[in-house]
């Protein structure tokens, strides 16, 4: 009997580590918090909360004097997923709030300038960022030829 063990005697499956099951387990563990965050409840809006716009919206300025001076016509455009800080919530009407954009990328007319108070409805904002839309946009930015 030969006590020496040669590499030719081993089958290819016996020495291989199970990389695919380990990789799937890691992806699953990393995706659980993302899934829980995306389906969890939002809670009530409060003054000082950072909120995100749900979609592209046309909103009015709180101060009507800012419009003609800077070239605006009384309103501005908020892009999807722009961050805003809630300054005031109208409790009497129950359908309005004052917020300031802080996550603005475009600072030209007709887009809302940062740190300018605008009037919003609760249906236009959410407490959670659009995670899936943000991931989609990030992946699309990686594709060459898209802007």
3-state secondary structure of 111: strand
Specify if 97 maps to a domain: yes
For the CA atoms of 40, 45, 51, 54, what is the dihedral angle to 10 degrees?
70
User: What's the mean pLDDT in 3-31?
Assistant: 74
| 101: in domain | yes
Please tell me the predicted confidence (pLDDT) of residue 80. 85
Q: Is 83 part of a structural domain of the chain?
A: yes
Is residue 142 domain-resident? no
Is residue 24, in this structure, part of any structural domain at all?
no
Q: Supply the pTM of this predicted model.
A: 0.66
Domain count, the chain: 1
3-state secondary structure of 56: coil
Whether 43 maps to a domain, the answer reads no
Q: How far apart are CA 99 and CA 45, in angstroms?
A: 12
- Tell me: the pLDDT tens digits for 24-77? 999 999 989 888 877 777 788 899 999 999 889 999 998 877 767 678 888 899
In a domain, 103, yes or no: yes
Residue appearing with tokens 């989609």: 136
| Domain limits for position 114 | 50-132
């Amino acid at each position: 009997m030969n006590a020496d063990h040669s590499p030719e005697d081993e089958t290819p499956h016996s020495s291989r580590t199970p990389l695919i099951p380990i990789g799937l387990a890691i992806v699953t563990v990393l995706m659980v918090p993302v899934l829980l965050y995306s389906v969890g409840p939002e809670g009530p809006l409060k003054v000082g909360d950072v909120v995100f716009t749900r979609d592209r919206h046309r909103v009015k300025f709180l101060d009507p004097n800012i419009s003609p001076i800077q070239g605006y016509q009384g309103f501005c455009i908020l892009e999807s997923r722009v961050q805003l800080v809630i300054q005031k919530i109208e409790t009497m009407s129950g359908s309005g709030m004052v917020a300031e954009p802080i996550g603005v990328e475009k600072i030209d007319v007709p887009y809302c300038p940062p740190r300018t108070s605008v009037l919003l409805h609760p249906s236009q904002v959410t407490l959670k960022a659009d995670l899936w839309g943000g991931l989609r946009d990030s992946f699309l930015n990686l594709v060459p030829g898209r802007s």
